[in-house]
Amino acid sequence: MRILVSNDDGILAQGIRTLANTLHRAGHTVTVVCPDRERSATGHALTMHKPLRAEAVENLFEPGLAAWAINGTPSDSVKLGLDALLGERPDLVVSGINCGANLGSDVLYSGTVSAAMEGTIEGLPSIAVSLASRSRCDFQPAADFLVRFVRALEVQPLPEAFLLNVNVPALPESEILGARVCRLGMRRYRDQFVKRVDPRGVNYYWLAGEVIESEEAPDSDVVAVGEGCIAITPLKYDLTYEPGIGLLGARQWEKIFGPLAGG
Looking at the domain assignment, is residue 178 inside a domain?
yes
Residue 261 in this model has a pLDDT that exceeds 90: no
Looking at the domain assignment, is residue 203 inside a domain?
no
In a 13 Å sphere around the CA of 191, the CA atoms on its Cβ side amount to: 6
Give the mean pLDDT of the chain.
Answer: 91
Looking at the domain assignment, is residue 192 inside a domain?
no
The CA-CA-CA angle for residues 187, 188, 191, to 5°, reads 135
pTM score, whole prediction: 0.90
CATH code, domain carrying 111: 3.40.1210.10
Q: Which domain holds residue 69?
A: 2-185+217-257
Looking at the domain assignment, is residue 205 inside a domain?
no
Give CA–CA dist 60/196, Å, rounded.
38
Looking at the domain assignment, is residue 200 inside a domain?
no
Looking at the domain assignment, is residue 194 inside a domain?
no
Residue range 55-107, pLDDT digits in tens: 999 999 999 999 999 999 999 999 999 999 998 999 999 999 999 999 998 99
In eight-state DSSP terms, residue 179 is E
| The pLDDT of residue 249 | 79
Looking at the domain assignment, is residue 148 inside a domain?
yes
Give CA–CA dist 193/110, Å, rounded.
20
Q: Are 153 and 92 in contact (CB under 8 A)?
A: yes
Residue range 170-197, pLDDT digits in tens: 999 999 999 999 999 887 766 678 889 9
Q: How many separate helices (H) and strands (E) can be counted in the chain?
A: 7, 11
Q: Provide the residue count of the chain.
A: 263
Could you give the number of structural domains in the chain? 1
Looking at the domain assignment, is residue 91 inside a domain?
yes
CA dihedral 19, 20, 24, 30 (to 10 degrees): 140
Mean pLDDT of 198-204: 92
Helices (H), 98-232: 111-121, 140-155, 221-226
